[in-house]
Structures are given as C-alpha cells and as structure tokens.
Amino acid sequence: MSVVLPIPLVSTSWLDDHLGDDELVVIDGSWYLAAMGRDPKAEFPAGHIPGAVFWDLDALSDQQSTLPHMLPDAGTFERQVRALGIGSHHAIVAYDGSGTNLSAARVWWMFRVFGHERIAVLDGGFQKWRAEGRRVERTVENRQLGVFNASWRPDLVRSLQDVARLIGSAEAQLLDARSVGRFEGREPEPRPGVRSGHIPGAKNLPFTELSAADGTLLPPDQLERRFRDAGIDLARPVVLSCGSGVSACALALGLAVLGHRNYAVYDGSWTEWGGSRDTPVETGRS
C-alpha cells in the first residue's frame, strides 16, 4: 500500500509508525553554522533515526560556484539523489538536529525545486525524536542505486537579477530570515568580505521565531501572526532570503503550512548580495 505522506510536516509519532515502509526514505539533513561548533557528519554515525541516509549539504550543492550551498543543475541533483538510494517513487521525510528547522527545510525545498513533491519535514526534528525516547541507531546502511528523475521548477527560485528588479516594485515582498542584528547591520557577517545590512525594502523575520521550545513549528494562527507582524501581506508573493539560502527555507516551510503557494527563495541570498560591490544595501529597520 502506498505511503500517504502528510505534507509539508509529519509528526514524530507518524514517522515512528511508518519506519520500515518500503516506499519511505528518511533523510538526516543536519547542517550547522561554524559558530555552532557541531559536526553533522560525525554526529550521524553516532546516532540517527533508523534507516536514515545522510544529506551532506555542502557536498550536495553546486561545487563550481564560489557561493555556498547553491543549487546544482538537474542532472547533478539526479545523480546525487540516485547515489543515496532514493527514487522518484519514494516518499521522503527530512529532519535535522537543530531544533529550529535550520537545514531540514532546505532539503525539502531542494527536492521540490527538482520536481519531487512527496517530501515532508519531521516536526520537531531529531531533538524531539530523542527527547521522546524513540529508536536511534548507529549503523549506516548501504542502499541500492535509486531511479530518480529531476525536473526544474523555476517558480521556486530567484536570482540576484530577479531580486534587483523587485526593489521599489510592488511585484513581490522581500523577507529576510537572518537575526535582527545582522539584518539591521549591527552585527558583522560571519563570512569575510560580506557587507552588513539588508536588501533595500526587505522585511525581517528570524527563522528561529517560527519554532516552539520543543522544536515543532508554531500553530498556524501563531505562524500567521509572526508573518503579519513582520509586515508581510499573505495574499501577495514573497521572496525569501537569509545568509546562504538555507534558513530562508524554514520561512518557506512556514508559508507552505499556512497554504501560501506564491513564494520563492533567493538562492544566493545575503552572501551573494552583500558580497557584491554594485548592489545597494540598507541598515536599520525597513
């Protein structure tokens, strides 16, 4: 029987009930900022959800780009996903160990960019899973090559040129997922050569504000309030950014939970915009 995957979120109890289903693949998409002092590649064999495969965000990105975590082309993504034993017929659940959807939502968004809709994020992630005393394993599975076909969805992605055209336009709203201090230009950027501040006209909603203490996403009414308090009109298109295109996807996940479908992620995000010398930058609140 086909796995009926609740999307875009699944609960820890749902996943526990479906572990071992042939059509289900679990992905550990954990990735952390250098300042967090955590090594997801070392943490994975030390403990992960049974049967999970590890998604190396740095390796499974465009290796030719000077920018971090940029999307690869469709052919490269196909090969990478097949090598992990994932096929187009699979239902996928992605999680991370941050407790704030720091990177699991990036995995969710990437699969959707390449045409795979049967994917969800584990609500609460590995933090909640472990807190509930659920099964953890240390063995790493070798899976057979998968049969995965990718198809590009340009509606979910924006480039620097796309974003530049939005400044001063009513076409779409810009929403930045970084911390308030980085957005306002009061805190230095972690990457050398990147200016402080934000894209002119952008609003700010730190992605960490969408999670409850147990790592689960806030209830829909509270989520909606967070977006509206940030100055976002949920009836209009939204373009999301962050430092390198990772945590912006947590905002995309929040919008998807609210039923908002007209959103896209600026893949180069602030590393590209703030690292350029011919792009305008604002500081303070918008």
Task: Choose the catalytic residue: 202, 240, 242, 248.
Answer: 242
Annotated catalytic, 249?
no
Residue 269 Cα distances to 128, 162, 179, 240, angstroms = 29, 12, 14, 8
pLDDT of residue 34: 85
Q: How far is CA 146 from the centre of its chain?
A: 23
pLDDT of residue 201: 97
Per-residue model confidence as pLDDT tens for the chain (286 residues) = 488 999 999 999 999 999 999 999 999 999 998 889 999 999 999 999 999 999 999 999 999 999 999 999 999 999 999 999 999 999 999 999 999 999 999 999 999 999 999 999 999 999 999 999 999 999 988 899 999 999 999 999 999 999 999 999 999 999 999 999 999 999 999 999 999 999 999 999 999 999 999 999 999 999 999 999 999 999 999 999 999 999 999 999 999 999 999 999 999 999 999 999 899 999 998 7
Domains, the chain, with CATH or none: 9-152 (3.40.250.10), 155-275 (3.40.250.10)
Overall pTM > 0.95: yes
Joined tokens for residue 44: 């994975």
